């Protein structure tokens, strides 16, 4: 065994890790290695504390918690939006915490998709998360347009990644709007958002991104890149909890644009309770809220984002890349004889925060991993996703995962399980 394959090397890396102390902020379970933070992040003590604070505000203040609590609910969405803005390179007024990723996507499509003349089509990719396609198709149908004719999905050459050049080539004069993921959810490919945005704007096309698999693990410069809009969830890398509230970004060149889907919280706050039937909408990203904020799914973000402010997104990115690089190196040295292949991009600028391993027995291997104290993520038909998280995963965790996988394969423990996904994979 080489030094780089040894447990001593992993411990040395942990000793040199400037973010290692953040691990103490999270509720990690004994004899369990959590590698699924790209689907649901773990609870931190700060997130728990900020949720309990809002519960206490309700207990003590009742309805006055909206304006007089320790964290007044009426302004919470804006506060958290401002806390989030540094992670995505946005201005505070461009960012709001609201809704869910799909309702926010409907809001953005309703606001920005304006088919006219020849420009009627929406451009997406063939590997994007299904809910984004559902939203696009339903918006096309609401406009009386056929999804079969007006949705363009750029194909993948290998079933794993999309070439930016192919996306740009599909930007013709019939495309009105483009929606793409920042990171492809299966393979972890990180798209070049800056280049894609420039190409879209050169052809007078609105472009937006789904940041579900990049926010909290990859730095962005949404304002400087000129991206028109973005949406995201917060329960993955941002650790807000199951079903946690979503968020959206609208570039300030569009602020003041009337929301496509108007609602109670689209109003300017100072006139919201005038109860006029004519909406006087906010001139910030607050305008793109719809309903009353979901306070108890929002409150954990206050504590969680404090950790991100302390750690810094650039340091998080450096450690994330180092962890995934270490995981790939150990996989190549240890697991390839067992039929594993690395399906994610290996170059740092093209990789998000998780590793994608392919294996014909992936479903049963994931079940065996869980039975042996590792929480992975399975994607049909043959993908194992592993996400070492910068704030709470260690290099020793990564080393142990590889040893457990080696034992599962060497002793064929995976054969104790069926090669079919569970209801929730």
From CA 392, how far away is CA 14, in angstroms rounded? 11
Backbone angles phi, psi at 162, to 5 degrees: -120, 135
From CA 287, how far away is CA 96, in angstroms rounded? 9
Beta strand spans in 330-415 (E): 341-342, 355-358, 374-375, 377-379, 383-386
From CA 217, how far away is CA 313, in angstroms rounded? 7
Annotated binding site for pyridoxal 5'-phosphate: 101-102, 129-132, 210, 213, 235, 264, 292
Tokens of 337: 């004889």
Beta strand spans in 126-267 (E): 151-154, 175-181, 206-210, 229-232, 247-250
From CA 292, how far away is CA 66, in angstroms rounded? 11
From CA 141, how far away is CA 320, in angstroms rounded? 40
Tokens of 133: 């396609």
Tokens of 243: 């079903």
Q: Is 24 exposed, middle or buried (0-12, 13-18, 19+ CB in 10 A)?
A: exposed
Using an 8 Å Cβ cutoff, are 329 and 401 in contact?
no
Asked if the peptide bond before residue 381 counts as cis, ω within 30 degrees of 0, the response is yes
The closest of 308, 277, 243 to 103, measured between CA atoms, is 243
The closest of 145, 127, 128, 129 to 137, measured between CA atoms, is 145
Alpha helices in 29-122 (DSSP H): 45-61, 65-68, 76-88, 101-112
CA distances from residue 208 to 85, 126, 222, 382 in whole angstroms, order as listed: 16, 16, 10, 30
- Residue position matching structure tokens 């004899």: 31
Annotated binding site: 101-102, 129-132, 210, 213, 235, 264, 292
Residue 179 β-bridge partners: 208
Paired sense of beta strands 374-375 and 33-34, if any: parallel
From CA 182, how far away is CA 214, in angstroms rounded? 6
Using an 8 Å Cβ cutoff, are 40 and 59 in contact?
no
């Amino acid at each position: 065994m080489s030094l780089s394959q040894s447990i001593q090397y992993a411990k040395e890396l942990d000793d040199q890790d400037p973010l290692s102390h953040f691990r103490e902020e999270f509720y990690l379970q004994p004899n369990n290695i959590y590698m699924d933070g790209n689907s649901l992040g773990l609870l931190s003590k700060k997130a728990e504390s900020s949720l309990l604070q809002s519960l206490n505000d309700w207990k003590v203040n009742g309805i006055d918690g909206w304006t007089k609590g320790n964290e007044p609910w009426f302004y919470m969405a804006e506060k958290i939006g401002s806390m989030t803005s540094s992670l995505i390179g946005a201005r505070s007024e461009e960012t709001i915490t609201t809704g869910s990723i799909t309702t926010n996507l409907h809001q953005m499509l309703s606001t920005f998709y304006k088919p006219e003349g020849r420009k009627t089509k929406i451009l997406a990719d063939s590997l994007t998360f299904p809910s984004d396609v559902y939203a696009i198709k339903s918006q096309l149908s609401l406009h009386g347009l056929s999804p079969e004719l007006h949705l363009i999905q750029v194909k993948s050459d290998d079933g794993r990644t999309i070439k930016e050049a192919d996306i740009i080539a599909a930007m013709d004069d019939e495309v009105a709007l483009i929606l793409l993921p920042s990171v492809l959810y299966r393979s972890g490919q990180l798209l070049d958002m800056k280049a894609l945005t420039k190409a879209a704007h050169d052809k007078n096309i609105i472009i937006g991104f789904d940041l579900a698999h990049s926010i909290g693990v990859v730095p962005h410069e949404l304002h400087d890149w000129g991206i028109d809009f973005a949406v995201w969830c917060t329960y993955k890398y941002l650790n807000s909890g199951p079903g946690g509230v979503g968020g959206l970004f609208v570039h300030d060149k569009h602020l003041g644009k009337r929301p496509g889907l108007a609602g109670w919280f689209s109003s300017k706050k100072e006139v919201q309770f005038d109860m006029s039937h004519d909406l006087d909408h906010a001139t910030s990203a607050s305008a793109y809220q719809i309903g009353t904020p979901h306070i108890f799914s929002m409150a954990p973000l206050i504590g969680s984002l404090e950790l991100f402010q302390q750690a810094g997104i650039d340091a998080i990115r450096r450690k994330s890349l180092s962890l995934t690089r270490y995981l790939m190196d150990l996989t190549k040295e240890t697991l390839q004889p067992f039929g594993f292949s690395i399906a994610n991009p290996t170059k740092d600028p093209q990789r998000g925060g998780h590793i994608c391993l392919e294996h014909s027995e992936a479903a049963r291997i994931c079940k065996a991993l869980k039975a042996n104290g590792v929480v992975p993520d399975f994607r049909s038909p043959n993908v194992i996703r592993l996400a070492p998280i910068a704030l709470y995963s260690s290099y020793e965790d990564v080393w142990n995962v590889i040893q457990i996988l080696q034992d599962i394969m060497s002793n064929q423990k995976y054969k104790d399980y069926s090669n079919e996904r569970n209801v929730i994979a």
